[in-house]
Structure 1
Amino acid sequence: MRFEDLEVWRRSLALSCSVYKAFKLSKEYGLKDQITRSSLSIPSNIAEGYERVTAKDCVKFLSYAKGSCGELRTQLYIAREVNELSEDYADAWIAETEQLSKMIGGLMKSISRTI
């Protein structure tokens, strides 16, 4: 299976693109940089894991992607609290990172069974 075939990769890619578009004009450069980088990290690490040779390496990179979900979720809470992001966007993206984290965790368990 290719990483492009994974629903979790497609959804995380869509989230990252949405985040980039929403923060394109933001003047809060530190927060903007952290949020866009962590959102980019999720689909990137899923892809990198799937391109690795061993299942163990794949799980390691999926773990990084899962960690980035938590990082992004934290940054979204902060962005909402400091009024850099609307409640609607923040709440939707926070819910999506929770779902992505669960999906990545399930994928990790599935792959770990083959190790």
Structure 2
Amino acid sequence: MKIQKFEDLIAWQKAQTLALQIYKTYAPLRDWGFKDQIQRASVSVSNNIAEGFGRNSLLEYIRFLYIAHASCNEVKSMIYLSFGLNYISEETQNELIEMCNEEGRIINGLIGSLQKLKPNS
């Protein structure tokens, strides 16, 4: 089954869920700089998946997926920092980290599938 639109990608759907959870979790936070950065990074995950899907070449698509994966790691790093700063509980940290880990695995799987479609160079 060929995916016709980025909204059908599980990677994009899960990234949207992650971004929504980040927004909800950090909504009360008064550290505006931190909040802005983690929100932007979380949105970058799904946006790069969507943007890559719309590109004209497989290599560009894969490149955007790598950027999405890097943004997911940035979110993870900030989650650890936010726990260290006592912005979130350990339970919340663990839940968010697991969401990031799952998203990373899904993106890596998508990258692997797409790389198999690349013509041999």
1:88 and 2:78 correspond:
no
**Are 1:13 and 2:12 matched, yes or no?**
no
What are the equivalent positions in structure 2 for 1:28-47 lying under 5 Å apart? Answer: 28-47=31-50
Amino acid at match of 1:34: Q
In the alignment, is residue 70 of structure 1 matched against residue 73 of structure 2? Answer: yes
Percent identity between the two aligned chains: 32
Query: 1-side partners of 2:10 and 2:117: how far apart?
Result: 21
How far the C-alpha of 1:51 sits from its partner, in A, is 0.8
CA distance in 2, matches of 1:112, 1:65: 16
Q: Where do 4+ consecutive residues of structure 1 move more than 4 Å?
A: none
What TM-score, normalized to structure 1?
0.95
Residue 25 of structure 1 and its aligned partner are, at CA, apart by 2.4
Q: Distance in 1 between the 2:37 and 2:88 partners?
A: 14
Alpha carbon RMSD of aligned pairs, Å? 1.0
Mean Cα deviation higher: 84-93 or 52-61: 84-93
Aligned-pair CA distance for 1:99:
1.1
Helix, strand or coil: the match of 1:44? helix
2:100 equivalent among 88, 93, 97: 97
Unaligned runs of at least 5 residues, structure 2: none
Q: Deviations over 1:71-96 (max 9, x none)?
A: 11000000011111122221111011
Aligned length: 115
1:3-27 C-alpha deviation (Å, 9 max, x unpaired): 1111121111011011112222211
